[in-house]
Amino acid sequence: MKLFSKKPTEKPTEVGPCVQPGSRRNFLCHASTLALVGSAGALLGPAAQAATSMLPPPDLFDPDLLDLTFWLQPRTLNLVRPQSGEKLKITYWKDGDLNLNAYEQVCELLRDVQANRIFRMDTQLIDTLWAAQAFVRRYGFEAPVEITSGYRSPETNSRLIEQGLPAARNSLHLRGQAADFCLNGLHPQILGQLVQGFQAGGVGFYFRVGAKGGWIHADTGPARQWRG
Ligand SMILES: [Zn+2]
């Protein structure tokens, strides 16, 4: 069964990550969780360190302990887009139904800001953003999802490549299937491992020194990971 719906018109199924009991994948998920918990303290930013109880616990990746009600709750996403100064807090999914008006507003915030073009974003990607935020929110970490890149038009993507910025020629950003984002105060290493736990696609880790820190690329393509 799929964790997320593939198309905006489909209703997501309510099944969490790592649902194949006894698989090697489960074992790997669990092992990575243990490593994550062990290293989390050193990786968290000052804001998160103030709330040490929000360290991701093992139940995220452990199918035996997975809280299925997590996937049944209304999906309220708190987004910011520094590039345009926009903010959006909206419930886009509730009781099995995608709210199309809310979905369109999310797509607008995830648009190509430079080209001012809106794209029909993959709802599975939106669910990934929501799940990361909702998961840490349960531990008192309330940061909005800060979007640095959502949909990219071919022109914008080409421009990024010309400028030497990390962008692939066949980027899934061009198909509305990728987003670059961070949660202020949460180290990208933790955020990325969290997103990997959802097994919803590819995850790129972009570590950067400085006040802005790094970010995570998440997409709904084949499962893979890399550092950029
Ligand atoms: Zn990206």
CB 180 within 8 A of CB 215: yes
| Ligand 1 centroid – CA 221 distance (Å) | 12
| Ligand 1 centroid – CA 196 distance (Å) | 15
Domain ranges of the chain: 26-227
Query: Along the 228 residues of the chain, how does pLDDT read in single tens digits?
Result: 333 333 333 333 333 332 233 333 332 333 333 333 333 333 444 444 433 434 554 445 444 445 778 888 999 999 999 999 999 999 999 999 999 999 999 999 999 999 999 999 999 999 999 999 998 888 888 999 999 999 999 999 999 989 888 888 889 999 999 999 999 988 898 899 889 888 889 999 998 877 667 999 999 999 999 998
| Ligand 1 centroid – CA 184 distance (Å) | 17
- What pLDDT sits at residue 66? 52
- What pLDDT sits at residue 16? 31
| Ligand 1 centroid – CA 173 distance (Å) | 6
| Ligand 1 centroid – CA 92 distance (Å) | 23
Residues 6+ apart with CB under 8 A from 170: none
- What pLDDT sits at residue 49? 41
- What pLDDT sits at residue 69? 84
Number of neighbouring beta carbons within 10 Å of residue 61 = 27
| Ligand 1 centroid – CA 28 distance (Å) | 25
| Ligand 1 centroid – CA 124 distance (Å) | 15
3-state SS, residue 79: strand
Point out which residues pair with 79 in neighbouring strands. 88, 145
3-state SS, residue 94: strand
CB 75 within 8 A of CB 106: no
| Ligand 1 centroid – CA 20 distance (Å) | 29
Q: How many CA atoms lie within 13 A of 184 on its CB side?
A: 14
Task: State the average pLDDT for the chain.
Answer: 77
Look up the pTM and report it.
0.73
Class of domain 26-227: alpha beta
| Ligand 1 centroid – CA 90 distance (Å) | 23
pLDDT in tens, 36-65: 333 333 344 444 443 343 455 444 544 444
User: Phi and psi for 105 in degrees, rounded to 5?
Assistant: -65, -35
| Ligand 1 centroid – CA 153 distance (Å) | 13
| Ligand 1 centroid – CA 206 distance (Å) | 9
Closest by Cα among 24, 18, 21, 221 to 131: 18
